[in-house]
């Protein structure tokens, strides 16, 4: 991805995050939102696999699910960490 593509993609990503309600949400609401996003992504991946569409979008959704899982794991670890 070159600089011009990145410059146009970043605002689109932030817009998508805002529309999904994932920007500036309360920490206690985050796990529920995360589950909803994962559910939508899993559904989309299932659709893509059934249609046997191009691999690029399948990989993108799968990568997104991995990122969401890492985020979920981090949030759980932070929640269990002792407070000082």
Q: Phi, psi at residue 25, to the nearest 5°? A: -100, 160
pLDDT of residue 32: 87
> Domain range for residue 35?
25-77
Would you place residue 79 in the very low, low, confident or very high pLDDT band (cuts 50, 70, 90)? confident
Q: At 43, list the tokens.
A: 């559904």
Q: Would you list the DSSP string of 1-38?
A: --HHHHHHHHHHHHHHHHHTT-SS--GGGHHHHHHHHH
Q: What is the pTM of this model?
A: 0.61
Has residue 61 been placed in a domain?
Answer: yes
Give one word for 83, left, alpha or beta, with left for phi > 0 and alpha for psi -120 to 50: beta
Has residue 8 been placed in a domain?
Answer: no
Name the average pLDDT for the chain: 80
Has residue 14 been placed in a domain?
Answer: no
Has residue 41 been placed in a domain?
Answer: yes
pLDDT of residue 31: 83
Has residue 1 been placed in a domain?
Answer: no
Would you place residue 22 in the very low, low, confident or very high pLDDT band (cuts 50, 70, 90)? low
Has residue 65 been placed in a domain?
Answer: yes
Count CB atoms within 10 A of the CB of residue 10: 10
Would you place residue 83 in the very low, low, confident or very high pLDDT band (cuts 50, 70, 90)? low
Domain count, the chain: 1
């Amino acid at each position: 991805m070159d600089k011009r593509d990145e410059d146009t993609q970043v605002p689109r990503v932030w817009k998508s995050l805002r529309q999904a309600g994932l920007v500036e949400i309360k920490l206690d609401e985050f796990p529920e939102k995360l589950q909803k996003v994962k559910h939508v992504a899993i559904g989309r991946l299932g659709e893509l696999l059934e249609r046997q569409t191009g691999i690029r979008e399948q990989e993108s959704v799968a990568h997104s699910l991995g990122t969401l899982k890492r985020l979920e794991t981090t949030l759980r670890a932070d929640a269990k960490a002792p407070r000082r």
